[in-house]
Amino acid sequence: MGVIDKVLCPRCGHEPASKSVFQCSECRSILEVHVNTNQLTNADFERMRQSRDQSIWRWFDFFPVSQRSSIVSLGEGGTPLIPAARLGAKLGIEKLYLKNDTVLPTGSLKDRSNSVGVSVAREWEFKTAAVMSTGNAAGSVAAYSAAAGINSVVMVPAGTAPSKIIQARAYGATVVVIDGSFDYEVAKLYKAAVQEFGWYDCLSSNPYRDEGKKSYAYEMVDQFDGKTPDWVIHPTAGGTGIYAMWKGYKELLSLGWIERPPKLVAAQSEAAAPIVAAFEKGLPDVEPIVARETIAESIQVGNPASLGWRALAALRESRGTAIAVSDAEILEAQALTGSLSGVFAEPAAATSVAAAKKLRDTGVIGHDDIVVCNLTGHGLKQPEAIRLTEKDFTPIAPTLDMLRQYIARFEIT
């Protein structure tokens, strides 16, 4: 059982009287949930590894949910770790693996967080869950709320891909499209709305929800048979993935279940890279920027307000790095990943592969390093990123002769 030891401010050390507040009353920092894992033994590790449950909930003892009956699960987690030999050969990385989170229930990594977050909402008997989102969190919160029997309200900025709005609607969410930027107008309105209506907040400023992405660490340790890769590269927006993975690895380290953690890499789009900028300047915290448009729309975040500084700390403690990639590099990585590994990742997700290529090209990653690229969202989330021409849709006459001419263009045998 995930026993909550304490909820503590990681900045000033203040411990609130209630465990159900998210923000420090003294310094406004987001609080941190500490789950007591000290009592876990090697036998517990084996028990969890052998569990028939392949979802994140086989690691129940690590999550801040006190009763199994509160769990809201759609079978998230346990995603394939694919050895990607052909893609690896192209990038010059012999031991390249893809952590394929495109197969999660709503098609993105957000299910790891929201399964935990909405389980807590159910435990606390909330009636409505809310989130503001660049798209993926919207669908995920909507799906888990539907499964829990909780209402959901999602706020998205104008310009969000229609496929993402459609998905949230399909799960019964109330979708509010807001004329304004994600980081500023949408954020301001969202904050005020959560206060006014008393909704359960499923944002990354919810420290309970954030615990869900620790599951990357547990799963990979299991999949690598107790070992750890040299590098894990994560497409990064608000920094939850980096922060939470590192927390998970530290737990495993303190339990003696791993010998050394991997180096973590935050991959961002050049158009929205405040974490990379802060990392390169050696700053302790992130300076918000106005994000520009990018093909990696799911990670178009200029102000990783609550977790930015903790993601930076995780990158440094792990001796990892942060790297920005251009839209052209992202689209190339998306195409290579699809055609050389059989995984269709959305552009934001393909930033991890673009980053792997860049880090290999500059010699930061060695040719025989073990590298994991997290592929965090399905390509069908943003199908319009694949640019097709008129020709792709133009039918040919149904004759073998026409087919021969057509096929000849593609050098297919």
Ligand X SMILES: Cc1ncc(COP(=O)(O)O)c(C=O)c1O
Tokens of 49: 């590894």
239 within 8 A of 304, measured Cβ to Cβ: yes
Query: Least Å distance between CB 131 and ligand X?
Result: 11
- Return d(Cα 301, Cα 289) in angstroms, integer: 9
157 lies in the binding site for ligand X (CB under 6 A) = no
Which one of the spans 9-17, 32-40, 192-200, 267-275 is the region binding Zn ion (CB under 5 A)?
Answer: 9-17
Of residues 7-66, which lie at the interface with ligand X (CB under 6 A)?
A: none
How many chain residues are in contact with ligand X, going by CB under 6 A?
A: 19
150 within 8 A of 202, measured Cβ to Cβ: no
Which residue's CB is nearer to ligand X, number 48 or number 267? 267
Tokens of 155: 């706020």
88 lies in the binding site for ligand X (CB under 6 A) = no
- Return d(Cα 301, Cα 133) in angstroms, integer: 10
Query: Least Å distance between CB 139 and ligand X?
Result: 10
Which residue's CB is nearer to Zn ion, number 11 or number 19? 11
Q: Residue 14 touches which of ligand X, Zn ion, none (CB < 5 to 8 A by kind)?
A: Zn ion
φ/ψ of 99, rounded to 5, equals -90, 105
318 lies in the binding site for ligand X (CB under 6 A) = no
The dihedral sign for the CA sequence 219, 8, 72, 164: negative
Instruction: Select from 1, 3, 6, 12 the one that contacts Zn ion (CB under 5 A).
Output: 12
Which one of the spans 44-52, 89-97, 235-243, 331-339 is the region binding ligand X (CB under 6 A)?
Answer: 235-243
Q: Residue 163 touches which of Zn ion, ligand X, none (CB < 5 to 8 A by kind)?
A: none
- Return d(Cα 160, Cα 144) in angstroms, integer: 21
Task: Give how far Cα 70 sits from Cα of 57, 73, 138, 176, Å.
Answer: 11, 10, 21, 28
Write out the DSSP string of 92-141. Answer: T-TEEEEEEGGGSTTSBTHHHHHHHHHHHHHHTT-SEEEEE-SSHHHHHH
Q: Residue 299 touches which of Zn ion, ligand X, none (CB < 5 to 8 A by kind)?
A: ligand X
- Return d(Cα 267, Cα 275) in angstroms, integer: 9
Which residue's CB is nearer to Zn ion, number 31 or number 178? 31
156 lies in the binding site for ligand X (CB under 6 A) = no
Instruction: Select from 238, 248, 261, 262 the one that contacts ligand X (CB under 6 A).
Output: 238
Footprint of Zn ion on this chain (CB under 5 A)?
A: 9, 11-12, 14, 24, 26-27, 29
Footprint of ligand X on this chain (CB under 6 A)?
A: 108-109, 134, 136, 204, 235-241, 298-299, 346, 348-349, 376-377
